[in-house]
Amino acid sequence: MKKLRYFAEFIIVIFCFSLFKIIGVKYSSIIGGYIGKYLGFLFREKKIAFKNLKIAFPEKNDLEIKSILENTYINIGKIFGEYVHIKKFTINNIKPSITFNDFQKIEKLKNLKKPILFFSGHFSNFELMAKGIYDLGFNIYAIYRPLNNFFLDPIMMYIRRNYICPNQIKKGGEGTRELLKQIKNNNPIAIMVDQRLSSGIKVPFFSQEAFTTDTPAQLAVKFDAKLVPV
């Protein structure tokens, strides 16, 4: 049953990607937003998201929480619409563009003789972090989690390697060895630190105890790496 569902998702995504490629990035993002808005209720995690938003914003009523959740789904839909156009996002003033606020700091980072850990969360189109840093001339390695859908995962890997950043490190034991190798070679790493964990250190997050990754901190201490939030 799961294989059948994954294959159905694969067909739908291929159809959408083919359509998005024809209509351009602007309208793909808009249509993707509508898809997220009206189909977001199908996400299995919506109850968890609603519950967590109530914890984060106890002063807001259910209607306001639902509005935040709807905008979250719109953002996810926009990212979905932008995937086939992601190579068009460049560091210039021509839209769609990636903007950096301080090129002097970037030049300082380029001249460092130590590894750099760029870390971020799933904000807006989160794929642009690794792409933007790679386009700036950093030989960056991005850590990724494979999709559960094994039909779609090769497509996403193709997009990531060809349009975002060619150096991809898969999460897991083999990926950890590759990560350590690249850090020892002073190559920069891009990592997302806001995913759900079942282990790590517990820290207060919106007054709730939450497992939090300490991997960037451990690597920074062990290899004297520079931590750079994005």
Q: What is the pLDDT of residue 120?
A: 93
Triad 6, 8, 79: Cα angle to 5°: 80
Q: Indicate the angle between helix axes 25-39 and 2-23, nearest 10 degrees.
A: 140
Q: Tell me the two tokens of residue 135.
A: 């386009």
DSSP state of 120: E
Which CATH number does the domain housing residue 160 bear? Answer: 3.40.1010
Q: What is the pLDDT of residue 195?
A: 81
> Which H or E run contains 138?
none
200 Rama sector, left if φ>0, alpha if ψ -120 to 50, beta otherwise = left
142 and 71 inside one domain: no
Q: What is the pLDDT of residue 153?
A: 95
194 and 111 inside one domain: yes
103 and 50 inside one domain: no
Residue 132, Cβ density class (10 Å: 0-12 exposed, 13-18 middle, ≥19 buried): buried
Residue (of 157, 151, 147, 148) closest to 7 by Cα position: 151
84 and 147 inside one domain: no
Of 55, 71, 88, which residue constitutes the final position of a domain? 88
Q: What is the pLDDT of residue 68?
A: 95
125 and 193 inside one domain: yes
Domains in the chain: how many in total? 2
- Euclidean distance between CA atoms 32 and 80, whole angstroms: 6
33 and 107 inside one domain: no
Count helices and strands (H / E) in the chain. Answer: 9, 7
170 and 136 inside one domain: yes
What are the residue ranges in the chain where pLDDT is below 70?
none
112 and 49 inside one domain: no
71 and 119 inside one domain: no
- Convert 162-226 into a string of H (helix), E (strand) and C (coil): HHHCCCEEECCHHHHHHHHHHHHCCCCEEEECCCCCCCCEEEEECCEEEEECCHHHHHHHHHCCE
Of 63, 88, 113, which residue constitutes the final position of a domain? 88
126 and 187 inside one domain: yes
Of 22, 54, 88, which residue constitutes the final position of a domain? 88
105 and 191 inside one domain: yes
Residue 206 belongs to what domain range? 91-230
105 and 190 inside one domain: yes
Q: What is the pLDDT of residue 46?
A: 86
pLDDT tens-place string over residues 183-227 = 999 999 999 988 877 778 999 989 889 888 888 999 999 999 999
